[in-house]
Amino acid sequence: MTEYESAPIVTLTGVKKHFGPVRALDGVSLSIARGDCIGLVGHNGAGKSTLVNLINGGLQASEGDIAFDLGDTAMQAGVRSVFQELSLCPNLTMAENLRISHNALKGIHWRRQARREIRASLDEVFPNHGIDADTEVDTLSIAERQMVEIAIAFAPRGTSARLVILDEPTSALDAGIASQLIAHVKRFCAAGGAVVFISHMLGEIFEVANRVTVLKDGHIVAEHPTEDFTRQALVDAMGHVAADDPETAIVAHALGAEVVRTPQGLAARAGEIVGLSGLAGHGQAAALAQLFLSRSSAWRSGTSPDVVFVAGDRQRDGVLPLWSILQNISISVLRQGAKLGLVDTASEARVAADWKARIGIRTDDVQNPILSLSGGNQQKVLFARALASPAPIVVMDDPMRGVDIGTKQDVYAMLRAEAARGRTFLWYSTETEEACQCDRVFVFRNGAISAELTGADITEEKILEASFQMQTAS
Amino acid sequence: MNLLSKPWIWSWSAAALTFVLTIGLTSGRGAGELAYAALSFGAFAAIVGLGQMLVITLGPGNVDLSIPATMTLAATLALKAMASMPGTALLGLMIALAVGLGAGLANYALIFLLRLPPIIATLAASLIYQSLAIWSNRGLRIKPPQELAEFATGRFLSIPNVAWVGLALAVVVWIVLERSVWGRWLLATGQNMRAARLAGVPIEFVRATTYLSVSVFAGLAGYLLASFSGGAALNMGAEYLLMSIAVVVIGGSSIAGGNSNVPGVWGASLFMFLVISMLNSYGAAAGAKNVLTGTIVIAIVIAASTRKGRI
């Protein structure tokens, strides 16, 4: 034990990374030893993803030194990463995806061996996962893709994993799967592995990490053993206003007439916040997409749309990658103020500036490309796009992925204010905690609604019960 | 904004360089005539290129291969209706544009209703348009009305009339892309069709109007080209298949969609004509010209993709 505590797997000394004028990291020193499980927290754009990419060799440091105990490169040192933006090849099977990072798989039977290895790794991390190794990745739900990616990171792949970096690994996972992952991380660290765990869910950080590092604006502002932090101290260190207990903040307000009723049984009234819950990938996203498509047209676009959509899968459903932040915000409101079919650029700029301030998009200039933003800030842009439109119904497909806790509180408050003014929200979330903020919750199981909860019935226990009922009954 | 970062600067520089090289061969004689010819012939490539650019902007897999056949059919039917009689120029224009509209509707119907990939749908449709042109033409070569031929070959302020038409069209397309709601919708659809649909963009409307536009542009180009060259010929559109795609690519528009470049299309159209006339001056064979055209397009695509990779 003493031997590996003395030699860190990776040591960063005074590392800086600049992207043009943007100082993503400004002098960070950190060492990660075997057995460490480091919780890395910070607001959106604090530099967390940049730090990950420097450690795993995806980026070169502008200044400073990164040293490994084994070999010269991250790969030789056994550093693995799971990214926030999923990086699997969608047209290949899981087993084939494993091969991409596993050069030792050779010969005519490589597929059989790859299947065996990915299956073993999935079984180890996520018992009873129910995913077949021959499935093509694009048929998997976002939660399943995340599970596969995590399993590939922990798989042996010729050399064993020694340091695994998990960037927001649980944001797409439901509570049951997330706790399996946390249990595996604990086992992995107890056996001498190291993990860097990035999450905006502070409960997870407290559960899994033995040391917490707080990043703020490219600096490490606090680094202590987990037991020295309280939840409040951690939130303060990240530089946010104190997070209220969300449940106390719900203000009762009168609901209007029913504005949504789908054949599946999903219903909502004007001014209501309706949650969709249950295990990830049980038909919630499909139900919302279907609702949106049935209430909007691919042929006509009025000046005031009936329904708008906030995407959770940013790359697939949300971001228009070639455009600026401004153009990404304004796409849904172009018809407003347009004269003779021409865009009113002045009002467009006003809307973008207004929402940059209201939702706190971290950029100097809304003319910057959308891809210059961190993942959480891109998500804010998608929120701004939907909320800027006057549509009475807002459909949100797990929209809080990668959003930091301070912004979440702001958005919750914004949603409540908009709902009080009569807007209706349909909100799918993988966080049970978020479902508990809704006026009414529909729990999904196997593509159908298994329970409708209202008022005091909306509790974590009831939601979980409705999510699992079938499995306990059979 | 740095001038060098504008993608259209490359096609215009290439056109200027080729112009100088060609003039150098004749030690300065005929510069005016060469520029005039480049503007005349470049106009036809620019008109169909602008249409093809809109389609390519729709995203991967979108291309209109029926441009040559639409040009031929529009020109054939327009000239047949005009029957060389004076005062029929406007009637002919209407017929050419209507043929374009009809071809665009047919193309989009195949794509939307039968869910055919655009490349197959437009290629298959082009065989039908070409057959219709053969059937209605029956080997006759009808001259355009006198005043129309004079307009198509004439000039105004020492610039060819057809170039004025091409320039006016370019300005309209540029305004539509840069400033109009429809232009934003088109660019959004080309970047990510699913995301655009979920952001409320009427993507099928955008696709339909884009395929209509390209065919109408092809109809206009066919009408002008036939009037310019003294009659419709069955192979008159042939060279515009590769040309329409080449000028889009050389002009700096992204072949992956979502990004288009109007000034670049004009620069590339001039460049393509000048390259061919340069090779003619150097006495190159027809085969060599085709090889060189293909090589240029491939080289530009490679250069454009590596430039993006580095950023």
Q: What does the pLDDT look like over A262-299, one tens digit per residue?
A: 888 888 888 888 988 887 777 888 888 888 888 888 78
Cβ contact (<8 Å) for A323 and B187?
yes
The Cα–Cα gap between B168 and B180 comes to 17
Q: Do B191 and A389 touch (CB under 8 A)?
A: no
Q: What is the pLDDT of residue B190?
A: 92
CATH among 3.40.50.300, 3.10.450.50, 2.60.120.260, 2.40.440.10 for A2-238: 3.40.50.300
Q: Look at A322 and B199 and tell me if their CB atoms are within 8 Å.
A: no
Cβ-based contacts of A341 with chain B (< 8 Å): 180-182
DSSP A133: T
What CATH number does domain A246-473 carry, 1.10.287.610, 3.30.379.10, 3.90.800.10, 3.40.50.300?
A: 3.40.50.300
Q: How confident is the model at residue B14 (pLDDT cuts 50, 70, 90)?
A: confident
In this predicted structure, the answer to whether residue A248 has a pLDDT above a threshold of 70 is no
Tell me if chain B has a CB within 8 Å of the CB of A308.
yes
| Mean pLDDT, residues B210-221 taken together | 95
- Paired tokens of A88: 């699997």
Mean pLDDT over A353-382 rounds to: 85
Chain-chain contact of B200 with A321 (C-beta, under 8 angstroms): no
pLDDT band at B67 (very low <50, low <70, confident <90, very high): very high
Q: In this structure, are residues A447 and A460 in contact, taking their beta carbons and an 8 Å threshold?
A: no
What is d(CA B112, CA A102) in angstroms, rounded to the nearest whole number? 42
Chain B residues with CB under 8 Å of A323 CB are: 187-188, 191
The partner residue sitting opposite A319, judged by closest CB among B182, B195, B204, is B195
Closest CA to A84 of A378, A460, A444: A378
Q: How far apart are CA B197 and CA A292, in angstroms?
A: 10
CA distance A140 to A134: 11
The whole-model pTM stands at 0.77
CB contact under 8 A, A341 and B180: yes
Nearest to A277 by CA among A140, A455, A420, A453: A453
For chain B, say whether A414 makes contact (Cβ under 8 Å): no
pLDDT surpassing 90 at residue B174: yes
Q: What confidence category does residue B218 fall into, taking pLDDT thresholds of 50, 70 and 90?
A: very high
Q: What is the pLDDT of residue B43?
A: 93
* Helix H or strand E segment including B54: helix B31-57
pLDDT tens-place string over residues A391-437: 889 999 888 877 777 778 888 888 888 888 888 999 998 777 788 88
C-alpha dihedral sign at B299, B304, B309, B311: positive
Q: Which amino acid is at B152?
A: A
Q: CA–CA separation, A460 vs A474, rounded Å?
A: 22
Is A370 in contact with A320 (CB distance < 8 Å)?
A: yes
Residue with tokens 């932090």: A229
Is A300 touching B (CB cutoff 8 A)? yes
Domain range for residue B293?
Answer: 31-310
With CB atoms and an 8 Å threshold, state whether A332 touches B199. yes
Entry field: residues in chain A? 474
* Cα A43–Cα A46–Cα A50 angle in degrees, nearest 5: 130
Judge: B184–A311 Cβ closer than 8 Å, yes or no: no
What CATH number should be reported for the domain holding residue B191?
Answer: 1.10.3470
Residue B169 lies in a domain: yes
Mind telling me how many Å the CA of A185 is from chain B's nearest CA?
35
How far B199 CA sits from the closest chain A CA (Å)? 6
A292 Cβ under 8 Å from any chain B Cβ: yes
Chain A residues lying within 8 Å of B182, measured CB to CB: 341
Predicted confidence band at B48 (pLDDT cuts at 50, 70, 90)? Answer: very high
Place of tokens 């800086």: A16
Higher pLDDT, A241 or A273: A273
Determine, for residues A316 and B195 on separate chains, whether the beta-carbon distance falls below 8 Å.
yes
Q: How far is B305 from chain A (nearest CA, A)?
A: 15
- Residue B36 neighbours by CB under 8 Å, 6+ apart: B155, B158, B160
pLDDT band at A247 (very low <50, low <70, confident <90, very high): very low
Residue with tokens 């597929």: A111
Interchain contact, B197 vs A316, CB within 8 Å? no
pLDDT tens digit sequence for A302-322: 777 889 999 888 888 889 998
Which residues contact residue B109 at a Cβ distance below 8 angstroms, ignoring those fewer than 6 apart? none
Task: State the average pLDDT for chain B.
Answer: 86
Instruction: Verify whether the Cβ–Cβ distance B195 to A318 is below 8 Å.
Output: yes
CA nearest to B175 within chain A: A342
Instruction: Decide which of A159 and A207 is more confident.
Output: A207
Residue A394: what are its φ and ψ, rounded to 5°?
A: -115, 125
DSSP assigned state of A391 = -
The answer to whether residue B13 sits within a structural domain is no
Average pLDDT over residues A180-197: 90
Q: Closest partner residue to B200 among A301, A317, A342, by Cβ?
A: A301
Residues of B with CB under 8 A from a CB of A: 175, 179-182, 184-185, 187-188, 191-192, 194-205, 254, 258-259
Q: What is the pLDDT of residues A447-457, one digit of tens each?
A: 888 888 888 88
Backbone angles phi, psi at B25, to 5 degrees: -65, -35
Phi-psi region of A250 (alpha: psi -120 to 50; beta: other; left: phi over 0): beta
Chain B residue with minimum CA distance to A294? B198
DSSP letters spanning A205-240: HHHH-SEEEEEETTEEEEEEEGGG--HHHHHHHHT-
- The full DSSP string for A83-115 is -SS----TTSBHHHHHHHT-TT--STTHHHHHH
Is residue A461 predicted with pLDDT exceeding 80? no
Q: Return the amino acid letter for A35.
A: G
Predicted local distance difference test score (pLDDT) of residue B45: 92
Closest-CA residue of chain A to B206: A299
Query: Which of chain A's residues have a Cβ under 8 Å away from the Cβ of B194?
Result: 316-317
Sign (positive or negative) of CA dihedral A467, A468, A470, A473? negative
pLDDT of res. B305 = 62
DSSP category for residue A332? G
The 3-state DSSP class for residue A434 equals: helix
Chain B: closest CA distance from residue A379 (Å)? 13
With contact defined as beta carbons under 8 Å apart, do B78 and B93 qualify?
Answer: yes
Which strands make up the sheet holding A219-225, listed edge to edge? A79-82, A163-167, A194-198, A37-41, A211-216, A219-225
Contact A269, A259 (CB under 8 A): yes
Burial grade of A106 (CB within 10 A; 0-12, 13-18, 19 or more): exposed
Burial class (CB in 10 A: 0-12, 13-18, 19+), B58: buried
Q: B202–A297: do the CB atoms touch at under 8 Å?
A: yes
Please name the helix (run of DSSP H) or strand (run of DSSP E) that holds residue B219, with its range, or none. Answer: helix B203-228
Please indicate if any CB of chain B lies within 8 Å of the CB of A331.
Answer: yes
A382 to chain B: closest CA residue = B199
Using an 8 Å Cβ cutoff, are A399 and A311 in contact? yes
First to last CA, chain A: 46
pLDDT at A377 over 80: yes
Q: Do A320 and B197 touch (CB under 8 A)?
A: no
Asked if the Cβ–Cβ distance from A299 to B200 is below 8 Å, we say no
Q: Of A243-252, A337-346, A397-406, B68-77, which has the strongest mean pLDDT?
A: B68-77
**Tens digits of per-residue pLDDT, A196-237?**
998 877 888 888 888 999 888 788 888 888 888 887 788 777
Look over chain A and give the mean of its residue pLDDT values, rounded to a whole number: 82
Q: Which residues of B touch A369 (CB under 8 A)?
A: none
Domain with CATH 3.40.50.300 in chain A: 2-238, 246-473
Distance from CA of A447 to the nearest CA of B (A): 21
In this prediction, residues A354-372 reach a mean pLDDT of 85
B180: which chain A residues are within 8 Å (Cβ-Cβ)?
341-343
> At B147, is the pLDDT very low, low, confident or very high (cuts 50, 70, 90)?
confident
Does residue B41 register a pLDDT over 80? yes
Residue A417: CB atoms within 10 Å: 11
Instruction: Provide the number of structural domains found in chain B.
Output: 1
Task: Tell me the pLDDT band of B47, cut-offs 50, 70 and 90.
Answer: very high
Indicate the Cα dihedral angle A85, A86, A91, A95, nearest 10°: 160
| pLDDT at A74 > cutoff 70 | yes
Tell me which range, A103-112, A179-188, A198-207, B29-38, is most confidently predicted by mean pLDDT: A179-188
- To the nearest whole angstrom, how far is the Cα of B195 from the nearest Cα of chain A? 4
Domain membership flag for residue B179: yes
Residue B208 banded pLDDT, cuts 50, 70, 90:
very high
Question: In chain B, which residues have their Cβ closer than 8 Å to the Cβ of A313?
Answer: none
- Number of inter-chain CB pairs under 8 A, A vs B: 83
Residue of A nearest to B193 (CA): A317
Report the 10 Å Cβ neighbour count for B269: 33
Q: Which of B182, B198, B200 sits opposite A311 (nearest CB)?
A: B198
Among A331, A332, A372, the residue to mutate for chain B (most B Cβ within 10 A): A331
Phi/psi for A443 (5° steps) reads -95, 130
Q: Which residues 6+ apart lie within 8 Å of B119 measured at CB?
A: B61, B63, B65
Give the total residue count for chain B. Answer: 311
pLDDT in the model for residue B187: 93
Nearest neighbour of A301 by CB, restricted to B179, B187, B201: B201
Nearest to B200 among A305, A322, A343 (CB): A305
Q: Do A309 and B198 touch (CB under 8 A)?
A: yes
Q: Nearest residue of B to residue A337 by CA position?
A: B181
List of chain B residues whose C-beta atoms are within 8 Å of the C-beta of residue A321: 191-192
Residue of A387, A202, A415 lying closest to A310 (CA atoms):
A387
Q: Touching check for A385 and chain B: CB below 8 Å?
A: yes
Give the residue on A whose Cα is nearest the Cα of B189.
A320
